[in-house]
Amino acid sequence: MNYTKETDKKWQNYWAKEKVFNVDTKDSSKPKYYCLVMFPYPSSELHVGHARNYVIGDAVVRYKITQGYNVLSPMGWDAFGLPAENQAIKHNVYPQEWTFNNIKRIKEQLNSWGIGYDWAREVTTCLPDYYTWTQWIFLQLYKKGFAYRKEAFVNWCPSCKTVLANEQVITASCERCSTKVEQKKLKQWFFKITEYAERLLSDLETLDDWPQRVKTMQQNWIGKSWGVEIHFPLENITSTINCFTTRPDTIFGATFLALNWEHPCVCGLIKDSPNRGEIEAFIEKVKNQPMSASLLDNFEKEGIFTHKYAINPMTKRRIPIWIANYILTEYGTGAIMCVPAHDRRDFEFATKYGLPIIEVIGIKQSKTSRHRLKEAYEGEGVLVNSAEFSGLESQEAKEKIAEHMETHNIGRRGFNYKLRDWLISRQRYWGAPIPIVYCDSCGQVPVAEENLPVLLPEVKEFLPTGQSPLTYIEEFIQTKCPKCGKAAQRETDTMDTFVDSSWYYLRYISPHEKKFPFISADVNTWLPVDQYIGGVEHAILHLMYSRFINKFLFDCNLVNFTEPFRRLFTQGMIVKDGAKMSKSKGNVVAPDYIIEKYGADTMRLYILFMGPPQKDAEWQDEGLQGAWRFIQRALRLADTLKTHKGGVDTREPNASERALIKKIHSTIKEVTSDLEGNFQFNTAISRVMELVNQAYKSLGSGFVRKEILRETVDAIFVLLAPFTPHISEEVNQMLGSKASLLKRRWPQWNEEYLKEEEVEIAVLVNGKVKDRIQINVNWPKEEIEKKALELEKVKKALGKNSPAKVIYIEKRIVNIVL
């Protein structure tokens, strides 16, 4: 049988014509299964690395269909945003043009690989029928106070000329272009994701079918820590400064306080300070030198004494208050208690400015080493110099001291999170406009829901300048205040692309709905998503934002589930020459020539066979050859049927046939369990390869009647169908089946055929294999052991020794111990 690209086309046309992947969401005759693959940015055409994602998804979809599920497999385009816009700029075309050309191209690619989608549900985030609802969701957040504008230090990418969310800064660089980000103080729009920190964290525990690594990354990102907020009274002033600490056990070693210059107390403290001028100069200096990870390596800790004192509430001693440049405003209270003996940052600072260092953890050499410590000891230990708490272990002391503080009103137990609010405004053209209007008399006013969408105007100039390009479009800016009707101006920033993608999985259920973003009743029956598939690069970004938006919609009673994705699979990257595929490196493997030369199934098979799908894998053209050879070998086996003599044969199956029948059933069983497990496509495929090998072996070693051979060929291609759907359909048709494989059911194995009477087991002497014997599993243990001991090779190995012990493990081994 010839496998050509016409075979691919034939079946792709058939699936499209028969609408086999189109789903009636109202159909309740079958259990639902929502399989979602992360939709692509149409910023360039796809390469084999991208293909892995869709091929995995398609294998799951086809498998689940044959298991009798009503499978929803939608696809769409994450079409707004930096990637497409940057590419458009580079190629000197409009973003819309660039985006829609790519959508067309990628769609062709996906179709040419035989990936099955319900295209009737296609969503495109840059079209008004979609972004109307993105804006609508913004308004719901705004109404509830979850969307707000504030001035803050934000991450600024000097190359993309826009602000970025914390999540989009990857080790101090822009997620898109890798330029080092800067800190800028700007008035920007935020979503209050911090309000959901606790739920985002604790609900991770309900996500049993998410990879641990993704959950851990989110956990770390949310960064919850237990501690005590301690109130430090000020000397001579009836006020306190609150400091959060995770180490209340070190309170007796707190020898000074350090404040960020923005701390609300700073103004009052320095008012009558003798060195006020100096302090103000210091503040001016550090104001323009915000902390950022890019500066970390050569960041010099600096500070200035305010000449004011606070009281350590436990030691009752007065401790100096400093203003320092290493205190974060966004975390805790913007003020910290400093324990130089047990915190390396405080140690560095105290050493520089000659502040007292008092050891309170650990017992060794406390007298001699004071002031002469080489470094801070940050671990836990036994408390010293800590009044009645001395002698306690850190763990216990934390609790006891916290309790003491609460009863004496010096502090309160609580938690802090590293998670920051999500910065969603962008000074870029290619995004959904933020539906807000500024009015001279009414201030900031949301656009009325019935006036959505705020259309993104077509523009001539969209190059990033640091100001949103919309700033220059008078017709866009000038509007009427939704409240008072007077002249007003529109917000010109657009929304982060991640807002668009944080709810698209809901839109697929009601893609053409005109009055609502989605129909809640339908969404509630189809979600959560049963299987989500995508790259691990979204472990924090998209997957955290979506969880947040979903929880918000839950709180609005728009959905009745708190987590959008029940099961998550993150596939590994395909690398070439040890590096991620990229145009700049010139190591991109384009799928087109593969499809042309070997057909879609060869590419699909190789991609799935190359290794465990969750791990990175190195692309090798030789591997592709192997997949091709296997397909040819399997097709040749199918061809032997044509010349094989048939007829009724009532004889008992011979040894060759029995081996083959058994192999068919064990293969069905193993492939099924590989697919049911963690998508072990690589081993599933290797098992089908073994079945093909067994078929040739049986044909070579004895007569195999046509019926059994036919059954073998059928099993091979049915089992391969999720991976190589085109040739599987072709063979299925050749075998006389009228219906598509997608209408057939996944094969069942029969345990009867797997029962073994005769097995070969190994005989070991002192743990080393000496020989093998055929045994009957029904033989008593004694008989098997006796037979093992009678073996020549065993006798030889035993020599004059007699066995001390004989161990028989059913159907596996006999071990003879001397």
Partner RNA sequence: GCCGAGGUGGCGGAAUUGGCAUACGCGUCGGUCUCAAAAACCGAUGAGGGCAACUUCAUGCGGGUUCAACUCCCGCCCUCGGCACCA
Helix axes 212-222, 541-555, angle to 10 degrees: 70
Least separation, in Å, of the C-beta of 103 and RNA?
28
Check residue 576 for interaction with RNA (CB under 7 A).
no
Q: In the complex, what is the shortest distance from the CB of residue 6 to RNA, in angstroms, rounded to a whole number?
A: 20
SS3 773: strand
- Interface stretch with RNA, choices 338-346, 516-524, 545-553, 591-599 (CB under 7 A): 338-346
Radius of gyration of the chain (CA): 34
Q: Which stretch binds RNA (CB under 7 A): 90-98, 335-343, 444-452, 519-527?
A: 335-343
Length of the chain: 818
Q: Is 246 in the site for RNA (CB under 7 A)?
A: yes
- If we measure between CA atoms, which residue out of 27, 4, 8 comes closest to residue 16? 8
Examine residue 177 and tell whether it contacts RNA (CB under 7 A). no
**Residue 336: CB minimum distance to RNA, A:** 4
- Does position 696 interact with RNA (CB under 7 A)? The reply is yes
Q: Which of residues 185, 629, 745, 781 is near RNA by CB under 7 A?
A: 629
Structure token digits, residue 765? 């002497």
Q: Which of 67, 351, 632, 733 binds RNA (CB under 7 A)?
A: 632
- Candidates 152-160, 320-328, 353-361, 740-748; binding stretch for RNA (CB under 7 A): 320-328
> Residue 291: how many CB atoms within 10 A of its CB?
17
Structure-token pair, residue 581: 């595929």
DSSP letter for each residue of 618-652:
E--HHHHHHHHHHHHHHHHHHHHHHHS------SP
Measured distance CA(172)–CA(335) in Å, rounded: 24
- Residue 182 and residue 205 in contact, taking contact as beta carbons nearer than 8 Å: no
Minimal distance, residue 410 CB to RNA, in Å: 15
With CB under 7 A as the contact rule, the residue among 38, 174, 207, 327 that binds RNA is 327
Report the alpha-carbon distance of residue 492 to residue 480 in Å, rounded. 15
What are the helix (H) ranges across 67-211?
82-90, 95-112, 128-143, 197-202
| 622 binding RNA? (CB under 7 A) | yes
Q: Is 127 a binder of RNA (CB under 7 A)?
A: no
Cβ pair 548, 540 in contact under 8 A: no
User: Residue 571: which residues within 8 A CB-CB, separation 6 or more?
Assistant: 52, 53, 56, 533, 534, 535, 536, 613, 614
Out of 127, 283, 445, 813, the only residue in the binding site for RNA (CB under 7 A) is: 813
Given 26, 271, 768, 800, the residue binding RNA (CB under 7 A): 768
Q: Which of residues 508-547 bind RNA (CB under 7 A)?
A: 536, 540
Residues 587 to 616 in contact with RNA, rule: CB under 7 A = 609-612, 615-616
Q: CB 787 → RNA: shortest distance, Å?
A: 15
Q: Is 352 in the site for RNA (CB under 7 A)?
A: no
260, 468, 497, 698: which one binds RNA (CB under 7 A): 260
Is the peptide bond prior to 528 cis by the omega test (within 30 degrees of 0)? yes
Per CB under 7 A, the segment of 446-454, 521-529, 777-785, 803-811 that binds RNA is 803-811
Residues numbered 185 to 244 that lie near RNA (CB under 7 A) are 212-213, 216-217, 220-221, 223, 225, 227, 244
Residue 615 burial class via C-beta count within 10 angstroms: exposed 0-12, middle 13-18, buried 19 and up = exposed
Contact (CB, 8 A) for 157 and 61: no
* 815 lies in the site for RNA, by CB under 7 A: yes
- 363 is a site residue for RNA (CB under 7 A): no
Return the SS3 of 482: coil
Site residues (CB under 7 A) for RNA, limited to 672-691: 680, 682-683, 685-686, 689-690
Q: How far is the CB of 43 from RNA (least distance, A)?
A: 20
CB nearer to RNA: give 96 or 329.
329
Interface with RNA, residue 767, by CB under 7 A? yes
The Cβ-side half-sphere exposure at 471, using a 13 Å CA radius, reads: 11
Given the complex with RNA, which of 489 and 632 has the nearer CB atom?
A: 632
- Binding of RNA by 287 (CB under 7 A): no
Q: Least distance (Å) from RNA to the CB of residue 179?
A: 16
Say if residue 809 is exposed, middle or buried (CB neighbours under 10 Å; 0-12, 13-18, 19+): exposed
Say whether residue 89 binds RNA (CB under 7 A).
Answer: no
